[in-house]
Structure 1
Amino acid sequence: MSQSLKRLIRLVGPQKRRLIASCALSVIGTAMGLVPFILIYLAIIELMEPVVNEAYIWKLIIGGIAAILLKFVTMALSGSLSHIAAYNILYDLRIRLAEKLGTLSQGYFNTRNTGEVKSTMNDHVEKIELFIAHQLPDVTAAAMVPIFTAIFLFIVNWRMALATMAVIPVAFLVLGMSYRGLGTMLEKYYKSIEKLNSTVIEYTQGMAVIKAFNQTVDSFARYRNSMEEYRDFLWKWSIQSVPYWTLFMVLITANVLVILPAGVWLYNAGSLSMADFILFFMLGLGLCEPLVKLTTHGEQFAEVVEAEKRINGILTEKPLSEPERAKAPSGFSTGLLNVHFGYNETEVLHDVTFSVPQNTVTALVGTSGAGKTTIARLIPRFWDVRKGEITIGDCNIKELPTTELSSLTAFVFQDVFLFNETIYENIRMGKKGVGEGEVIAAARMAHCHEFIESLPNGYQTIAGERGAKLSGGERQRISIARAILKDAPIIILDEATAFVDPENEDLIQDAIGKLSAGKTLIIIAHRLSTITEADQIVVLDEGKIVEKGTHQELLKAGNMYRRMWEAHMRAQDWKFET
């Protein structure tokens, strides 16, 4: 916890002055809330005199009103300053997290569920906001005011002060018992939240499949089970903590049971005035509120610490390495030399070596799981290889800054991802700073200008989440327009026409031709008829290269590629028989 606290303090560093001012104002505001009790005490003393000074009483009344007004002013200023500081810190923190995620390998995201990352980016960061905007000033006041009150009470009458404080250590002992195992429980709580978030995301994104196979909320087991696990966990946690919390609340307010008999005894003994008796009675009850607030924030702070650990887990994750001295490639040929790669402990590429000369077309073919997509995603360095090297020009890609490497490659995925933004912005993300004319020109080349113009808002139409408002062929053409606009020298196509209809395939093939003109092109294809003109075909099987050459050379060799070609031709003649 101490390390988390240090990191939290460093986190608030840039907003330190605002937060110090906020905490100071919170202490003043909370202290002002006790002033009326003290003024009532002074008024009682005056009222018990034989001759009452009315002017003095009125001054006390005005002082009480002023204290209440000052409390509202200081607390409002404290809240404003803490919230301004919190929102600035949250903005910086979310930017840091987003930038950090951009430096991590794709493997990081493959080993974590969506709900885990979403919880960290949203829910856990919000916990930090609660700590800064609310807990920090409140806890400071809740800790300082009881101390000042206790000192004041000891000055007035040390015996009654002891009586007022007598039950507080017992109450906090009980509370401490409830905190046993809190760290473990919070870890389980956050894991259950992350699992729940992932299941909810999966459930909503998979709604079409759920409906198609007649699933419901009750019969969709993963959704139901995660909900039940979350409910059962919270129920178990409540059963464990509620008795301790209830006993704490009873004890923290039970000081009146000690104040009354102690006060009566001291009053009868002549050691306590009636005014002092009333003062202790009022402040004794008033002491409960900041203590309860302090304990409430203490439990919330434990949640903040656990949230900070998860945030720090991302911020300290090892990124893809950057070169100490950046190099510039002499050309745009691409090559793999003795490459080995695996996911976790399973190696999926074994000693892969081939080269792609500049401005040529190389196709990767093979059965599903042969390693085609893995190779394609290693070239832009979505992962780092375990052994061997990948080059662009005469440079190992690890010698290129990741931003530079990204600018050299354009990727058209099989499963196109469009952001829930305008179509214009989805295309323009290929190259920031370009004008409308360049975006439209790229759309025309990709054969998507016509259908975009037919949409209600044209280029300003929102694509929907993951491009849900568009057809598969439309999404694919927009992704090609994005790649055309980027104008990278190396193009990677991952089965870009695998799931489109014949009409769209013809348009997409034409768009790909325009995209790849004068570029180094790497194609992953299942439809072998689309890559017969490739300069080189690399055939993969179980993570190894089994043969390579041109279409005609591989047919003459009579090995795996020929068998794949014959199967492909038979499939072309297949028809549904009734």
Structure 2
Amino acid sequence: MLEDVKRLLKLAGQQRRKLIASCILSVIGTALGLVPFILIYLMVLELFNPVINQVYVWKLVFWCIVAIILKFAFMGLSGSLSHLAAYSILYDLRIKLGQKLGTLPLGYFKEKNTGDTKTAMNEHVEQIELFIAHNLPDLTAAIVVPIFTAVFLFIVDWRMALATLAVIPVALIAQGLMFKDYKPLMKGYYDALEKVNSTVIEYTQGMAVIKAFNQTVESFRRYRDSIEEYDDYIWMWTKRFIPSWSVFAVVVVANLIVILPVGAWLYISGSLPMPTLILFLILGIGFSQPLMKLTMFSSQFTQNMEGVGRINEILTETPLSEPEVEQIPSNFNIEFQGVHFSYGKREVLDDIEFSVPEKTVTALVGPSGAGKTTIARLIPRFWDVNAGEISIGDVNIRDLATERLMSLVASVFQEVTLFNDTIYENIRMGNAEATEGDVIAAAKMAHCHEFIEKLPAGYQTLIGEGGAKLSGGEKQRISIARAILKDAPIIILDEATAFVDPENEELIQDAITRLAEGKTLIIIAHRLSTITSSNQIIVMDEGKIVEKGTHEELLLAENLYSRMWKAHVSAQDWKFETEEDRK
């Protein structure tokens, strides 16, 4: 448990002192709550004397009131500090997680479910905030105050103290049974919760497909199964937990069964004064409350430690390495030398070697799954290669700072990612220092300006999650405007016109031409007619380069590219056959 506390304090960072101060104040405040009982005990002792010292009694009453006021003051200050610390920790954790995710290779996100990351950044961080703000000070007090109380009771009368604590061993055994296998059970709970989160995200994002194929909540099996699995797990855990919890809850408050007969026997025998018996009846019954709190807080603490562990998994994940001494490329030639790359155990690139001279156009073509997109994503170092080297201007990309490398490459992907913000901010993401004039100029070059101006709020129009309020062609042109604004010397186009209509394709092709002026351009395309003028065409198949050359050279070679070109040309004349055509 001590190691868990250290991990929590490490996450607390600069708020560590506030947390410690809050816990100390909570202990003092809770201890002050015991003072009135002690003073009442002393008051009763005085009242049983033949001659009552009224001044002494009124002093005790005064200090009772002071203790109660100080208790609320210390507890209020403790709560304020814990809440301030908790909110700061929540903010810092989410910023740290966001920054950390930005340093991780793309492979991390391919291996992790979206629900795992969402749960860590949302639920786990939120639970830590709630635990620190509301439970941590009380947990500290629930541990320390019963110890102080027990010591005080032993000083007053060791026999009655033993009677008060007689049920504790049984309660501890029941508590031990409650928390048996608690950590693995908690891990299973969070695994089930993350699976639910992942399927909920998948279900909501795939709603268009679900409706198109007439699916419902009941028939969407993955969604239903994950909910049922989570529900079954909760029931299984509850059934295991209830018997030992019931025993604990009964036993921990049953010390009155021991205190009353022992106290009565000692009083009748004349060895226990009535005020002392009253004191033990009051404190003995109240002794169980911190223990009940301690059990509940222990459960919540274990839950939080599982969350802390999962947050730490992200924070300690190995990021892309940064060079100790950065090198600056002298030009923007791109070179692959003996590159091998695998997704897990599946090799997708095998001994890839080619060069892309500065300010030229290179096209990557080949069947689906040949490795074209993987090559494009290795250039900005979304992953590190398993073997070989990729260089820009004779500098290994591993020797470039990640920020500098990102500034050298602009990518326009087949699947456009836009954020739930204004059109203006989505374009300006390409260059945070761009002026309004720069944004509008980029939009005009990408043929966005005309349709943006027709929108109710123009450039300040909110486009919805993922650009839901825009067409596919409009989203693609905004992504090109973003790349134009970035003004990077290397441009990567990954099937940028794959899913657009002919009218939009013409506008996008014109925008791409403007984007690529004076740049090193790499194009991935299935429509071979769009890359015939490329300086070189690299033909991929099953993770290997099978051909290289210009369009004319590759046609003369009559290999894979030639066959692909013939299929492409014949597809231009393809059409649905009608009844009239058959006649």
Fold shared per TM-score above 0.5 = yes
CA distance in 2, matches of 1:497, 1:391: 28
Q: Is the 8 A contact 1:4 1:309 kept in 2?
A: no
- Tell whether 2:403 aligns with 1:416: no
CA distance in 2, matches of 1:231, 1:60: 55
The secondary structure found in structure 1 opposite 2:153 is: helix
Identify the residue that residue 178 of structure 1 maps to in structure 2: 178
Identify the residue that residue 398 of structure 2 maps to in structure 1: 398
Q: Is the 8 A contact 1:83 1:132 kept in 2?
A: yes
Q: Is the 8 A contact 1:115 1:198 kept in 2?
A: yes
CA distance in 2, matches of 1:509, 1:523: 12
CA distance in 2, matches of 1:160, 1:457: 78
CA distance in 1, matches of 2:53, 2:444: 91
Identify the residue that residue 279 of structure 1 maps to in structure 2: 279
CA offset digits 1:158-215 (Å, max 9, x no partner): 1101111111122011101121111110111111011010000001101111111111
Shift of 1:51: 4.6
CA distance in 1, matches of 2:193, 2:113: 12
Change (3 A) 1:64 1:458: farther
Correspondence list, 1:81-100, <5 A: 81-100=81-100
Identify the residue that residue 568 of structure 1 maps to in structure 2: 568
CA offset digits 1:317-353 (Å, max 9, x no partner): 1111111111001100111111111100010111111
CA offset digits 1:50-73 (Å, max 9, x no partner): 454555545444443433332222
Q: Is the 8 A contact 1:366 1:372 kept in 2?
A: yes
Identify the residue that residue 71 of structure 1 maps to in structure 2: 71
- Tell whether 2:80 aligns with 1:80: yes
Residue identity in the other structure for 2:86: A
Identify the residue that residue 244 of structure 2 maps to in structure 1: 244
Residue identity in the other structure for 1:439: V
CA distance in 2, matches of 1:217, 1:164: 56
CA offset digits 1:56-97 (Å, max 9, x no partner): 545444443433332222212111101111222222222222
Q: Tell me which moved more, 305-314 or 157-166.
A: 305-314
The secondary structure found in structure 2 opposite 1:222 is: helix
Identify the residue that residue 581 of structure 2 maps to in structure 1: none
Correspondence list, 1:330-349, <5 A: 330-349=330-349
CA distance in 2, matches of 1:441, 1:522: 24
Q: Tell me which moved more, 126-135 or 203-212.
A: 126-135
CA distance in 1, matches of 2:274, 2:236: 49
Residue identity in the other structure for 1:493: L
Residue identity in the other structure for 1:161: A
Query: RMSD between aligned alpha carbons?
Result: 1.5
CA distance in 1, matches of 2:420, 2:74: 43
CA distance in 2, matches of 1:120, 1:43: 54
Residue identity in the other structure for 2:185: M
Correspondence list, 1:197-212, <5 A: 197-212=197-212
**Gaps spanning 5+ residues in structure 1: where?**
none
CA distance in 1, matches of 2:315, 2:33: 41
Shift of 1:454: 1.8
Q: How many residues align?
A: 578
- Tell whether 2:304 aligns with 1:308: no
Shift of 1:577: 2.0
Residue identity in the other structure for 1:548: K
TM-score normalized with structure 2 length: 0.96
Residue identity in the other structure for 2:182: L
CA offset digits 1:222-245 (Å, max 9, x no partner): 000000000000000000011111
Identify the residue that residue 158 of structure 2 maps to in structure 1: 158
Percent identical pairs in the alignment equals 67
CA distance in 2, matches of 1:385, 1:485: 29
Residue identity in the other structure for 2:272: L
CA distance in 1, matches of 2:205, 2:11: 35
The secondary structure found in structure 2 opposite 1:12 is: helix
Correspondence list, 1:210-359, <5 A: 210-359=210-359
Residue identity in the other structure for 2:307: A
Shift of 1:250: 0.7
Identify the residue that residue 482 of structure 1 maps to in structure 2: 482
Q: Is the 8 A contact 1:332 1:358 kept in 2?
A: yes
Correspondence list, 1:367-386, <5 A: 367-386=367-386
CA distance in 2, matches of 1:520, 1:391: 14
Identify the residue that residue 5 of structure 1 maps to in structure 2: 5
Identify the residue that residue 149 of structure 1 maps to in structure 2: 149
Change (3 A) 1:419 1:272: same
Identify the residue that residue 429 of structure 2 maps to in structure 1: 429
CA distance in 2, matches of 1:430, 1:51: 88
CA distance in 2, matches of 1:374, 1:365: 12
Residue identity in the other structure for 1:284: G
CA offset digits 1:422-453 (Å, max 9, x no partner): 21111111111222111111111111122122
Q: Is the 8 A contact 1:34 1:286 kept in 2?
A: no
The secondary structure found in structure 2 opposite 1:389 is: strand
Q: Is the 8 A contact 1:537 1:549 kept in 2?
A: yes
Residue identity in the other structure for 1:455: L
- Tell whether 2:545 aligns with 1:545: yes
CA distance in 2, matches of 1:494, 1:54: 92
CA distance in 2, matches of 1:52, 1:452: 90
